[in-house]
C-alpha cells in the first residue's frame, strides 16, 4: 500500500479504492491520533490508541467529532462507515449531514470538537469520493499527523484499536444538521458593520452550486445579504455533482448570466471550498483575480497583514506583477490550500489562495471557503458601485496554458534527465517574461504542465512540447 493521503485527504473511486472497510478503519485510526492530540493538549501528556494516557489515566470525557459530507451517492455508505468507526472507538459524533467542507472546518472549532471529518472529492466526478480530517480548531492536518494515522492503519504503530469497549464506553451519535445555521450566521457576520444589513442590495447574481454541498446554503446566504439570486446546479441527485456545471465547467453559468442580465455569476465546486466568478459580460474572473481584488481592498482598509499575500506556484505571473507594483509582498508555496494555510499561520498573514479558487481569509476561516469568498468579493463590488469586470482589471492575466498528461509514472517527474533538460530549455527561451512548471498532481493520476508567457502562441507551443516530453517518459 502506497501513501494514502494526497494533497487533500484520502481520495479514490468509491467502492474500489475507497471502501466501507477502509473508511471505518481510517476513522478508528484517525480517532486514535486526533483524540490523543486533543487530550494531550489539555492533560500535558500524550495518549495511546486505547484512549488512556501514558501514565494510565483515563480522560474525563469522550472525544467529540463532527462529520459532514457532500451529496454523492457513495457519501451515504461512507458516512455510515466513518460514524461507526468513530463510535466504536469511543468518540461522540455530531452528524452534520450535507454541507460544505469549510462549514465542517468552521464547526469543528465553533462546537469545540476534537476533530472533524468531511466526506467529499471536491471537484472530482461523482464516482470518486474522499475522506478529509480536520484537527481541533478546524485546521487541516500536518503531514506528520497523516503519517501517524497511516502507521496506525497499517499496524506499524499499534494499528487501529482491537475489539472491546473503550474506557468511557462507545460513542453516541447525534444528528446535528441544524448547526448549518451557525455557519450561515458566521458568514454573514464576517463583513464589517459598515457594509450594512443588506450589503449586496442592488446586485443580481447567478450562483452555480455544482449540484453539490452548497446547493442550499449558498443561495440563502446571498439572499440574506440582499442580492437577487438566480440558481443553477441546485438539484443534487447523488450522481450529477460537478457534471457540466460548477467551477470546473463555467459555460452554463455564463449562459445564465447573459440570459438573466445578471451583474455577476458565482461558481462553486462540489464541496464549495472554491469560488470562481464571471462578470456581466460572461468573462472569467479566476482565483488570482479574486485574490488581487481582495488584497487591494484589504490594503485600502489597513487590514492586509504585513502587506503580504500567500499564493502557490500555479498563480499567474500577472498577479505577482500587480501585487509587486502595489508594494505587496508575495509568499509562494506548493499547490494545495493546506500549504497556503501553513504559510499564512506562520507569518500571521490575512489573505492567501490559489488560482483554482481556493481562497483563505484567515480572519474568518481556517481553510478555503467559497461562500465566504463570494460574499466578500460581491460586497466589494456593491460597496464601490463597480462592476466585477472593472474590479478585476487591477491585474492583467498573462496567457497561461495548462495541460494534464495522464498515464505517466509521476515519480519520473523529478528524476528524468530528458524532462529536466526540456524544462531548462523552455525557461531559457521564455526568460523573465514567462514561467514553466511541471509537477505531479496531488489529487489525480496526472502530470500537470503549466507555461506562462507574454505571447499566447508561444505559451501554447512551449507547453505542447513539454507535454510531449512528459508523455514519452519511461
Integer CA distances (angstroms), 210 to 62, 117, 179, 269, 271, in order: 37, 21, 22, 6, 9
Q: Is the pLDDT of residue 46 over 90?
A: no
Dihedral, CA atoms, 371, 372, 377, 382, nearest 10 degrees?
90
pLDDT for the residue 36: 62
pLDDT for the residue 474: 61
- For the record, the C-alpha cell of 193 comes out as 458593520
pLDDT for the residue 407: 86
Q: Is 122 a catalytic residue?
A: yes
CA angle 46, 51, 53 (to 5 degrees): 35
What is the C-alpha separation between 165 and 449, in angstroms, rounded?
51
What is the C-alpha separation between 277 and 266, in angstroms, rounded?
5
**Residues with Cβ < 8 Å from 433, sequence gap 6 or more?**
453, 454
Q: Is the pLDDT of residue 159 over 60?
A: no
Digit-coded pLDDT (tens) for 168-207: 999 999 999 999 999 999 999 999 888 888 999 999 999 9
| Active-site residue, selected from the candidate residues 53, 122, 247, 356 | 122
* Structural domains of the chain, with CATH: 10-179 (3.40.120.10), 203-394 (3.40.120.10), 400-471 (3.30.310.50)
What is the C-alpha separation between 61 and 171, in angstroms, rounded?
11
Q: Is the pLDDT of residue 160 over 90?
A: no
Q: How confident is the model at residue 164 (pLDDT cuts 50, 70, 90)?
A: confident
Digit-coded pLDDT (tens) for 250-266: 999 999 999 999 999 99
Q: Is the pLDDT of residue 156 over 70?
A: no
Instruction: Give the pTM.
Output: 0.87
Digit-coded pLDDT (tens) for 20-41: 999 999 999 999 999 964 333 3
Digit-coded pLDDT (tens) for 306-325: 999 999 988 999 999 899 99
Amino acid at each position: 500500500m502506497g501513501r494514502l493521503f494526497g494533497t487533500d485527504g484520502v481520495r479514490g473511486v468509491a467502492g474500489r479504492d475507497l471502501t466501507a472497510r477502509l473508511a471505518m478503519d481510517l476513522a478508528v485510526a484517525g480517532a486514535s491520533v486526533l483524540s490523543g492530540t486533543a487530550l494531550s493538549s489539555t492533560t500535558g501528556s500524550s495518549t495511546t490508541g486505547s484512549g488512556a494516557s501514558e501514565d494510565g489515566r483515563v480522560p474525563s470525557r469522550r472525544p467529540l467529532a463532527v462529520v459532514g459530507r457532500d451529496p454523492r451517492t457513495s457519501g451515504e455508505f461512507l458516512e455510515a462507515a466513518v460514524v461507526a468507526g468513530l463510535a466504536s472507538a469511543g468518540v461522540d459524533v455530531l452528524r452534520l449531514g450535507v454541507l460544505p467542507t469549510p462549514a465542517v472546518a468552521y464547526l469543528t472549532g465553533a462546537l469545540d470538537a476534537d476533530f472533524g471529518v468531511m466526506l467529499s472529492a471536491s471537484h472530482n466526478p461523482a464516482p470518486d469520493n474522499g475522506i478529509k480530517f480536520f484537527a481541533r480548531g478546524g485546521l487541516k492536518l500536518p503531514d506528520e499527523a497523516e503519517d501517524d494515522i497511516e502507521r496506525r492503519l497499517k499496524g506499524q504503530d499499534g494499528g487501529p484499536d482491537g475489539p472491546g469497549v473503550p474506557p468511557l464506553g462507545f460513542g453516541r451519535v447525534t444528528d446535528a444538521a441544524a448547526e448549518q445555521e451557525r455557519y450561515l450566521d458566521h458568514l454573514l457576520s464576517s463583513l464589517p458593520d459598515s457594509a450594512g444589513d443588506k450589503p449586496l442590495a442592488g446586485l443580481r447574481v447567478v450562483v452555480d452550486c455544482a449540484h453539490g454541498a452548497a446547493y442550499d446554503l449558498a443561495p440563502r446566504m446571498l439572499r440574506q445579504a440582499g442580492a437577487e439570486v438566480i440558481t443553477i446546479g441546485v438539484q443534487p441527485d447523488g450522481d450529477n455533482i460537478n457534471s457540466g456545471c460548477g467551477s470546473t465547467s463555467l459555460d452554463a453559468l455564463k449562459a445564465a448570466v447573459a440570459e438573466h442580465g445578471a451583474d455577476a455569476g458565482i461558481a462553486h465546486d462540489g464541496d464549495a471550498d472554491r469560488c470562481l466568478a464571471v462578470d456581466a459580460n460572461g468573462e472569467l474572473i479566476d482565483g488570482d483575480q479574486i485574490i488581487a481584488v481582495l488584497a487591494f481592498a484589504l490594503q485600502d482598509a489597513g487590514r492586509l497583514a504585513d502587506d503580504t499575500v500567500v499564493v502557490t506556484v500555479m498563480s499567474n505571473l500577472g498577479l505577482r506583477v500587480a501585487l509587486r507594483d502595489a508594494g505587496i509582498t508575495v509568499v509562494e508555496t506548493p499547490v494545495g490550500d493546506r500549504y497556503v494555510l501553513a504559510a499564512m499561520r506562520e507569518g500571521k498573514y490575512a489573505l492567501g489562495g490559489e488560482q483554482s479558487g481556493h481562497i483563505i481569509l484567515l480572519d474568518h476561516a481556517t481553510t478555503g471557503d467559497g461562500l465566504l469568498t463570494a460574499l466578500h468579493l460581491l460586497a466589494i463590488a456593491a460597496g464601490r458601485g463597480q462592476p466585477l469586470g472593472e474590479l478585476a482589471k487591477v491585474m492583467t492575466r498573462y496567457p497561461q496554458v495548462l495541460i494534464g498528461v495522464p498515464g505517466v509514472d509521476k515519480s519520473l517527474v523529478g528524476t528524468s534527465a530528458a524532462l529536466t533538460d526540456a524544462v531548462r530549455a523552455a525557461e531559457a527561451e521564455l526568460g523573465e517574461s514567462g514561467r514553466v512548471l511541471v509537477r505531479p498532481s496531488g489529487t489525480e493520476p496526472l502530470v500537470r504542465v503549466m507555461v506562462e508567457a507574454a505571447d499566447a502562441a508561444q505559451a501554447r507551443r512551449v507547453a505542447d512540447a513539454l507535454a510531449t516530453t512528459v508523455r514519452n517518459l519511461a
